[in-house]
């Protein structure tokens, strides 16, 4: 495993910046800041002194009427300056800041020093950071946002946000595809606030951003808020067909605003409970009772396997007989939802449900197991023991063992021997 201060050591030995660390990584810069402090403990002789950073040297002035001696200043090279900017001694860090304006490649360390724990260093770094042109700040976004979590990290973040809110739109748009998730979220918030993205674009983004719920929600809400008459399909189409339940539910809810409540019926049997709930709400707002629709769907649920789940969510125990007819349905998903529904309605009869423990579908076995656990003590011990054998499918063995443990706990509580 590599040492934490390897990049710092390479810089201290004069290796060029781009060869010593990944300058495009925010993590690399924060790691360098820590690595120099570790290097100061492990190999203090490699760190620059204050005189080397100050860059002063004694020289003769031969152009004066009388030759005289004075001091001239030579800027330190970039690797040495990078190490000095992370030096444990605050005086050296402050001295190094005087040269940062000559080295744009070291601006990430200027951002780091804006959150420095020493007041004079922090103040000087902030003054220099304020002089950086706003259009040159977006490449630093990932590091600025990472450091904003620190105690003194708000200054750089506020400067970056002002630059993006007041600057060119293309600077914000360029950050929407950043590899850094925090940067993408930050840029999307600003883009939405500035109205830089059309509702149709926001809807497509919400549907495609499957790896980030915050961006999904932000873009879906903004797309719906910006929806205009005659352009409903451009927004609702991507939202209603999205994989994300949050995005689909937003699209279903927006059907009411578009005056298309009847289309919510297609989502009554959605695989997501939150989408089903939104569909029922929209239908009721349009004066349609979803319960008869669910009962009709459960008569032939092959095309809508989640219909039993929806029936339970708005039905009563009077609907339990319909669910019992579905526990042997050919489609496994229907059987799962029927069993879960019986458990939700407190309508489980263990003698009728117990044979389903031998179902070929592992998902059905898990649902049946969950439903039978409260009645595990009523299931014959020998019957369960036979299904825990090594020759049985793994899902059945796991289910039998869970029920056997529940059987044993019930036996202990009731004071009679298990098995």
Helix intervals (H) in 43-88: 50-54, 78-84
pLDDT at 408 (0 to 100): 86
Are residues 396 and 358 in contact, defined by beta-carbon separation less than 8 angstroms? yes
Handedness of CA 345, 350, 352, 353 (dihedral sign): positive
pLDDT along the chain (419 residues), means of 10: 71 89 91 90 75 47 41 68 90 88 90 93 95 94 94 93 95 94 96 95 89 92 87 90 94 92 94 96 94 94 93 92 93 95 92 92 95 90 89 93 89 63
| 266: DSSP letter | G
State the pTM of this model. 0.81
Q: Which residues contact 359 (CB under 8 A, 6 or more apart)?
A: 332, 335, 365, 368
Q: What is the pLDDT of residue 71?
A: 36
The pLDDT of residue 220 is: 95
């Amino acid at each position: 495993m590599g040492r934490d201060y390897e990049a710092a050591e390479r810089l201290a030995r004069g290796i060029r910046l781009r060869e010593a660390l990944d300058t495009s990584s925010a993590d690399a810069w924060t790691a360098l800041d820590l690595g120099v402090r570790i290097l100061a403990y492990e190999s203090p002789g490699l760190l620059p002194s204050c005189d080397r950073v100050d860059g002063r040297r004694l020289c003769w002035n031969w152009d004066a009427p009388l030759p005289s001696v004075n001091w001239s200043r030579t800027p330190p090279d970039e690797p040495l300056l990078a190490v000095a900017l992370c030096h444990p001694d605050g005086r050296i860090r402050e001295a190094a800041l005087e040269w940062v304006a000559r080295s744009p490649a070291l601006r990430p360390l200027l951002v780091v020093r804006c959150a420095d724990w020493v007041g004079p260093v922090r103040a000087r770094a902030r003054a220099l950071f304020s002089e950086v042109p706003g259009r040159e700040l977006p490449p630093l976004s990932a590091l600025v946002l990472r450091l904003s979590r620190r105690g003194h990290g708000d200054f750089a973040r506020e400067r970056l946000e002002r630059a993006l809110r007041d600057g060119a739109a293309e600077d914000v748009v360029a950050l929407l595809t950043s590899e850094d998730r925090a940067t993408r979220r930050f840029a999307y918030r600003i883009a939405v606030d500035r109205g830089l993205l059309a509702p149709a674009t926001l809807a497509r983004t919400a549907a495609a951003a499957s790896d980030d719920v915050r961006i999904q929600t932000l873009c879906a809400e903004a797309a719906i808020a910006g929806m205009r008459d005659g352009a409903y399909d451009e927004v609702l189409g991507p939202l209603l067909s999205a994989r994300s339940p949050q995005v689909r539910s937003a699209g279903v809810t927006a059907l009411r605003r578009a005056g298309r409540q009847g289309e919510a019926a297609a989502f009554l049997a959605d695989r997501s409970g939150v989408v089903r709930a939104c569909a029922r709400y929209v239908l009721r707002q349009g004066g349609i009772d979803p319960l008869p629709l669910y009962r009709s769907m459960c008569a032939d649920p092959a095309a809508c396997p989640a219909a039993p789940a929806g029936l339970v969510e708005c039905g009563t125990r009077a609907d339990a007989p319909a669910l019992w007819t579905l526990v042997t349905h050919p489609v496994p998903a229907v059987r799962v939802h029927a069993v879960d529904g019986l458990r939700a309605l407190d309508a489980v009869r263990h003698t009728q449900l117990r044979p389903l423990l031998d179902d070929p579908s592992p998902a059905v076995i898990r649902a049946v197991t969950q439903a039978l656990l409260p009645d595990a003590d009523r299931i014959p011990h020998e019957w369960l023991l036979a299904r825990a054998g090594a020759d049985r499918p793994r899902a059945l063995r796991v289910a039998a063992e869970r029920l056997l443990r529940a059987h044993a706990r019930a036996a202990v509580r009731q004071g009679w021997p298990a098995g």
